[in-house]
């Protein structure tokens, strides 16, 4: 749950539902003990967990039904209330040793994760969403004058949480759309017909063939084995380059007759394209096999 937001509603002293508020004076210091209504705590956690789990599912790219998200939120809200009412344990320890396993259980229910690594990733995403959504709510409560007098209102909390969730979702959609625009599919004629590669559009790629000054695409040597048909002496090119850690270097390359580049919304064909052969992996995770300059992109 949103622990730092919940602190506004829950006293840091020992919590017991239904205990009336009182004030004690000890050693010339005033100690305040407030009343905590467990039904309100449950409701706040339930709604917040719904928002957080919906964000977590979207970020992780998982498929989760509304029923599973609701079930995970109920488990989180009930578990929070139970942990909160444990006697004789400092609130910080309750959060540390209670909320982390509870968050893992919520992720397991909603995302049906497999393996510890995937579970930890989901748990980290959940707490990250909690951090940013909580920061958004605190900003509204503290900085926006229109809400300054209603900072403790549950209605305002739910409203700002809804706005914050919608904002984070739009931000995530924008980031993913921008990221998708950097990738495309490249089709080349290979020895056994058309061959497709995943390509990254690198706006910082200024590699050119020195004689013709044509922009140069880069393909992994392992993938080039499918294009032996283009390895003709008259198409051979020497392409000098420099990069971080290597001031001067040379790559071999060949001129390809045609290359089709397909993006999400459009497709282009380029003729007499020069492709350099890179002896290694252009992507450490193997997400793409080719790098395109902006001039050869859609």
| SS3 of 2-23 | CHHHHCCCCCCCCCCCCCCCEE
* Residue 271: predicted pLDDT: 92
* Residue 75: predicted pLDDT: 92
140, 187, 195, 225 from 192: Cα distances, Å: 61, 13, 8, 11
32, 56, 152, 156 from 45: Cα distances, Å: 24, 16, 15, 15
Q: pTM here?
A: 0.59
* Residue 277: predicted pLDDT: 92
Q: pLDDT below 70 — which residues of the chain?
A: 1-36, 143-152, 180, 243-247
């Amino acid at each position: 749950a949103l622990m730092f937001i919940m602190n506004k509603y829950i006293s840091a002293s020992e919590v017991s539902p239904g205990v009336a508020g009182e004030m004690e004076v000890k050693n010339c210091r005033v100690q305040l003990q407030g009343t905590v209504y467990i039904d309100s705590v449950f409701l706040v956690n339930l709604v917040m967990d719904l928002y957080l789990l919906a964000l977590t599912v979207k970020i992780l790219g998982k498929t989760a039904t509304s029923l599973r998200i609701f079930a995970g939120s109920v488990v989180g809200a009930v578990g929070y209330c139970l942990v909160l009412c444990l006697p004789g344990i400092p609130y910080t320890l309750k959060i540390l040793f209670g909320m982390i396993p509870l968050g893992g259980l919520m992720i397991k229910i909603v995302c049906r994760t497999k393996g510890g690594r995937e579970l930890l990733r989901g748990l980290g995403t959940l707490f990250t969403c909690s951090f940013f959504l909580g920061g958004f709510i605190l900003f509204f409560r503290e900085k926006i004058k229109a809400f300054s007098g209603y900072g403790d209102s549950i209605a305002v909390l739910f409203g700002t949480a809804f706005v914050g969730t919608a904002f984070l979702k739009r931000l995530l959609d924008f980031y993913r759309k921008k990221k998708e625009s950097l990738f495309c599919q490249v089709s080349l004629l290979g020895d056994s017909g058309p061959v497709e590669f995943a390509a990254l559009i690198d706006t910082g790629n200024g590699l050119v063939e020195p004689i013709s000054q044509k922009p140069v695409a880069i393909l992994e040597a392992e993938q080039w084995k499918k294009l032996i048909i283009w390895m003709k002496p008259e198409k051979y090119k020497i392409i000098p380059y420099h990069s971080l850690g290597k001031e001067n270097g040379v790559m071999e390359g060949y001129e390809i007759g045609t290359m089709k580049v397909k993006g999400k919304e459009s497709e282009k064909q380029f003729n007499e394209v020069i492709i350099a052969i890179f002896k290694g992996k252009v992507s450490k995770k193997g997400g793409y096999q080719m790098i395109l300059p902006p001039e050869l992109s859609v």
